[in-house]
Amino acid sequence: MRIEKAPPTLYDEIFDKEHRARPHCRGLEQWLEQADEALLAEKRREADVLFRRLGVTFNVYGEDEGIDRLIPFDLIPRVLSAADWQRLQVGLRQRVNALNRFLHDIYHGYEIIRAGVIPAEQVFANPQYQPGMQNLKVPRNIYAHIAGIDLIRHNDGEFYVLEDNLRCPSGVSYMLENRRMMMRLFPELFARMPVAPVDHYPSLLGETLKAASLQTNPTVVLLTPGRFNSAYFEHAFLARQMGIELVEGADLFVRENRVFMKTTAGPRAVDVIYRRVDDEFIDPLAGNPESMLGVPGLYAAYRCGNVVLANAMGNGVADDKSIYPFVPEMIRFYLGEEPVLRNVPTWQCRLEQDLKYVLDNLEQLVVKEAQGAGGYGMLIGPSASRAELDNFRAALKARPEHYIAQPTLSLSSSPTFVGNGIAPRHLDLRPFVLSGKKVQMVPGGLTRVALREGSLVVNSSQGGGTKDTWVLESPSC
Amino acid sequence: MKLHVRHKTIYRYQTPVTSTIQYIRLRPRNTTQQKVLEWSLEMPGETSQMTDGFGNQVTVMTLDEPVSEIILSAQGLVELTARPLARNDSPFPPQVFLRNTQLTQPDEALKDFAGRYSANKRGLMRLMTHLREEVTYRSGATTVTHTASEAFSQKEGVCQDHTHIFLACCRFLGVPVRYVSGYIHSSDDQHLETHAWAEAYLGSNWQTFDVVNTLNAPESHIKLAIGLDYQDAAPVRGVRSGGGMETLSTIARVSQSAAANQ
């Protein structure tokens, strides 16, 4: 089949600048060359039907037509070499360790601030800093039990961290379902290529959640906001995979600062809550009083050390875009190591000279809200209209501290089935890093792909799709 | 001065409440300004204690049998020292109190108002005085869900609103400021009220700003809890099943302790 190759200004995951398959991708190249367009189209229809039947859907906020939508799935996997993954793994472990150390520090003695590494106001005046976490001891000093680290590969071939997600990172169910789907549609590929397995993720997650408590055989539950949440499918999926109860706020109650689950056999004490409910809604007596999603009294139980929340409350201050520029310094400060993974150079608009640079070069930059998420409040300079640029210029002048800016990175591309053949599309990678007795992850992660030609926005809420992610265990294929 | 406190809160319900859980902040802490000599807090149901992130003493009360009335009764003896507040009496730096909450987020009108004052003691004293003139005290003018901006635009409110407006202004001016809930004693009629005021961090000290009484010194204030806003420091926050309509009555009395009069 016809394969459109990426221009040499881009880094393609499969093909090098001379359009030859990279050594670990030769097997995939052969498959692509032999693939028949009609067959691929047929397989894609099959995948849609199966995903729909399984209920692998997500909700898009602000859309009227039906609440469940399929995230488009691309049949052509994204491939990482064993060496790439090895290096990523070392870097991810390092980064998540430092972020956990940081969270413990800012809720205890805040040494990093007293050492002058991060300005006090950046941390303490941040709306995500949770005073309620002050001096609260959490087992093993772990705050981010589950971290989703968003990475991109630039045209220099290096990986850069785009964003750390330490609150309720989602998407892992797509990673798992995408793999299952590929094995079902193309079993012969897995016989030919040494694809590292990912299906042990639920058991690693279960292990991590158990290790979050110091009890010997802790009872773990998954707390979901319910079926109207965009990630509800994932909550149900993970609970089922781990064999733990999927609960909503009303299924739990607190007595004498202990959390109990209502069961047909009477109340059962709960030790660990894998919660997919935001901080503010977790306890109407401590956060938003209108919240129907949480459990009244849960904060008291947490505060008294009688239950563990995974992830901890107050993590948002560490994954905020205004704190992001300091992560490399955190790694040096807490671990005494040089960062393995790079940060994207970031201008902090709260600083006068940074703001000036940003205003002077707006057409070349990406501007993001310091506390935004989901790709709603951002400007992509090179593709913005005059009016959009003017709007952002005004906003930047009015509230510079609300924004950061970064160079427009050329996200790497990978061959993607686009209906009339195969063409390169941009993508990112979100590995899921689990911190328990040790830091663990399954090879790869979730690959998101911007399906529109030339688009750099991979968010599923903005028309992105996903791919299966392969780490090839040996470079011999 | 020693103050004897008796504070009773009575909730009556139309139909029985079948279960409830409440966070109760009715236990004063020892500070440089106040020494708690005796204190008892009585209520029905099961209770346990918790210290929240701000260092407030919280009693967690749960009740699982039908009742048509709940009485919270606090009683004690507190000595006011008339000394200034300690420099560093919270577990984290004052910058935490720079942040607005949903209740203190200023709108344009409030920003315009705040912008006329400077971020020093003199400026904040003037702000407090003008704010008190601008916003009339009227019991029942607002509810606990009113924001600073709403109260400011309707030009009336209660101590909680005056405090929220002051908080919004200070934070707009870049001054860390916290919400305080407690009791105040007015010496003329031996009357005690539950009250709210602010403490702003100026120079390197926390200073009292009681907007309703335009006071800058905590002459007769007993502090119960602090926080970013009312929600953090509220004397009582609870949820209940059943109960229907609720009526609330509060009796608070204070007297200067006999010992102090001798």
**Confidence (pLDDT) at B7:** 92
Token pair listed for A263: 């069961």
The domains found in chain A, sorted by start residue, are 345-407 (3.30.1490.270)
Is residue A331 a contact partner of residue A164, using CB atoms and an 8 Å limit?
Answer: no
Q: What is the pLDDT of residue A372?
A: 55
Is B66 part of the contact surface with chain A (CB cutoff 8 Å)? Answer: no
Angle A417-A422-A424 from CA coordinates, rounded to 5°: 95
Interface of A with B in 131-150 (CB under 8 A): 131-136
Contact B215, B187 (CB under 8 A): no
Look at residue A63 and tell me whether its pLDDT is greater than 60.
no
pLDDT for residue B192: 62
Domains and CATH numbers, chain B: 2-82+235-261 (2.60.40.2250), 94-232 (3.10.620.30)
Per residue in A311-343, pLDDT (tens digit) is 999 999 999 888 999 999 999 999 999 999 999
Q: What is the DSSP string of B88-154?
A: --SSS-GGGGG---TTT---HHHHHHHTTS-SSHHHHHHHHHHHHHHSEE-TTSS-TT--HHHHHHH
pLDDT beyond 60 at A39: yes
**Residue B138 in this model has a pLDDT that exceeds 70:** yes
Q: What are phi and psi of A118, to 5 degrees?
A: -130, 135
Secondary structure of residue A447 in the 3-state scheme: strand
Rg of chain B taking only CA atoms, in angstroms: 18
The pLDDT score that the predictor gives to residue B260 is: 45
Angstrom CA distances, A296 to A57, A286, A301, B90, stand at 31, 8, 10, 26
Which residue in A121, A127, A289 is closest to B231 by CB distance? A289
- Taking contacts as CB-CB distances below 8 angstroms, the residues of chain A near B237 are 285, 289
Over residues B16-74, the pLDDT tens digits come to 999 999 999 999 989 889 999 999 999 999 999 999 999 999 999 999 999 999 999 99
The answer to which of A51-55, A98-102, A462-466, B225-229 has the lowest mean pLDDT is A51-55
Put simply, whether A257 touches B (Cβ < 8 Å) is yes
From residue B136, give the alpha-carbon distance in Å to each of A461, B152, B157. 48, 10, 6
Residues of A in contact with B99 (CB under 8 A): 125-127, 129
Are B52 and A130 an interchain contact pair (Cβ–Cβ within 8 Å)?
A: no
Evaluate whether A417 touches A40 at the Cβ level (below 8 Å). Answer: yes
CB count, 10 Å around CB of A64?
6
pLDDT at residue B157 above 70?
yes
- How far is residue A259's CA from residue A253's CA, in Å, rounded to a whole number? 6
Other C-beta atoms within 10 Å of A46: how many? 14
Residues B38 and B3: their CA atoms lie apart, in Å, by 11
Average pLDDT over residues A296-320: 97
CB contact under 8 A, B58 and A286: no
Q: Give Cα B104 distance to the centre of its chain.
A: 15
d(CA A316, CA A243): 29
- Rounded distance between C-alpha atoms, residue A403 and residue A296, angstroms: 35
Q: Kindly report, residue by residue over A339-374, the tens digit of the pLDDT.
A: 999 999 999 998 999 999 999 999 999 998 887 544
pLDDT confidence of residue A64: 46
**pLDDT value for B84:** 81
Which candidate from A127, A284, A303 shows the least CB-CB separation from B52? Answer: A303
Candidate from B53, B237, B239 with C-beta closest to A134: B53
Contacts of A110 in chain B (CB under 8 A): 92-93
Segment A211-232 shows an average pLDDT of: 94
What is the rounded average pLDDT for all residues in chain A?
A: 91
Distance from CA of B79 to the nearest CA of A (A): 29
Q: Which of chain A's residues have a Cβ under 8 Å away from the Cβ of B229?
A: none
- Is B46 an interface residue toward A (CB < 8 Å)? yes
Q: Which residue of A has its CA nearest to B24?
A: A285
CA pseudo-torsion sign B150, B54, B34, B39: positive
Give the phi and the psi of residue B89 in degrees, each rounded to 5. -110, 15
Best of A255, A281, A402 to mutate (most B CBs within 10 Å, chain B): A255
pLDDT confidence of residue A34? 87
Cα B208 off chain centre by:
12
How far is residue B28 CA from its own chain's centroid? Answer: 11
Element (H, E) at A255: strand A252-255
Q: How many CA atoms lie within 13 A of A138 on its CB side?
A: 29
The closest alpha carbon to B228, from A241, A278, A229, A127, belongs to: A127
How far apart CA B139 and CA B153 sit, in angstroms, is 17
Higher pLDDT, A459 or A325: A325
The backbone torsions φ and ψ at residue A440, rounded to the nearest 5 degrees and listed phi first, read -135, 155
Answer yes or no: is pLDDT of B262 > 50: no
B chain contacts of residue A289, beta-carbon cutoff 8 Å: 231, 237
